[in-house]
Amino acid sequence: MQMQRKKIKGFTLLELLVVVVIIGSISAIGFLPFQNWRSDRAVRAGATSVSSVIQDIYSQVQRGHYSFVQFRVHPGDGEDDDTWFISTYGMETENFTTLVRNKYDSSNNILDFHVFDLRCKTDLKFDSKTMWDDQGYPISS
């Protein structure tokens, strides 16, 4: 009696190599568009968060909580080199009105608040004493 040969099922090495090459080429073709899509999504998410912060500032002013608001966009440093921050400062109505009414100090010098270049300095402070009621907090994006 002759023994019947068993049918062995499986893939050959050549078939496996062909499949790996096909998958690798499809991945290589799709990698760049995926990277572009991913970076685009990150930029859109950052723009949305910045827009949200500006809308929040605007709504605070519209509600009458602050009469004068400043915000600045500045880069991080050190470990945060690739991060940008938004710092906000708000001045309540009473404080703002006092500053507008009192244009001169006791020695008849004009206050820094009434000089545009000094009022809009990048450090958001006047004469080392802070005039802001709300110094906000930096928001990273």
With a threshold of 0.85, does the pTM exceed it?
A: no
Residues 29-81 have pLDDT tens digits of: 999 999 999 999 999 998 898 888 888 888 888 888 888 787 777 787 777 67
**Domain residue extents for the chain:** 17-140
Within the chain, strands assigned E span 68-75, 84-91, 139-140
Q: How confident is the model at residue 14 (pLDDT cuts 50, 70, 90)?
A: very high
d(CA 25, CA 71): 48
